[in-house]
Amino acid sequence: MVLTKKQDNGNKKKEHGKRETRPKSNEARSFVASDKKAAAHKNTGLKPEKKEFAKKELALIKDKKDIIKKEPTKKEPPVKKEKVNYIELVQKFVKGTLNELKKVHWPTRREIIIYTAVVLVAVAFVGALIWLFDSVLSLILRQIIQR
């Protein structure tokens, strides 16, 4: 049972309220769970401001349950999509691309030559390393097969 606040001539009294035994939907179940949590927190000796906040929150939760139950089940007609202007999209893409290309730090001729030399040396080294391992493993395999 959920405790609700009832005002009678300025006197504050608590009254036991009734609640549905079975919620009709998943949303109502989540509200019931939050009702239990709110009720559990009410009796923990909180400050008066927090107790009032919890009571107001509980009242809001009950209002939300009523609102959810009263929603109509009519389906709305599908919304018509606006036509997409592909020419404007392409123009926007090209302008953005050109703006980004202006921000790029382009290497100088000297930097390009150095970077190219580094790549060629690295490729030659890795190629030689692979050739060396392949040759050594081939010799070992030939020795194993001959015995």
66 vs 52 pLDDT, higher one: 52
pLDDT score at 75: 72
The predicted structure's pLDDT at residue 55: 74
Percent of the chain with pLDDT over 90: 41
Confidence band, pLDDT 50/70/90 cuts, at residue 4: low
**pTM confidence score:** 0.36
Q: What one-letter code names the amino acid at 135?
A: S
With bands split at pLDDT 50, 70 and 90, how would you rate the model's confidence at 6? Answer: low
Cα 32 to Cα 1: distance, rounded to the nearest angstrom:
11
Say how far apart CA 97 and CA 103 lie, in whole Å: 10
36 compared with 125, residue with greater pLDDT: 125
Tell me how crowded residue 32 is: count the other CB atoms within 10 A of its CB: 18
Q: 3-state DSSP: the chain helix, strand, coil percent, rounded to 5?
A: 65, 10, 25
Determine whether 58 is exposed, middle or buried from the number of CB atoms within 10 Å of its CB (0-12, 13-18, 19+). buried
Helix (H, G, I), strand (E, B) or coil at 24: coil
pLDDT for residue 7 is more than 60: no
Given a contact cutoff of 8 angstroms between Cβ atoms, the answer to whether 16 and 3 are in contact is: yes
**pLDDT, position 64:** 63
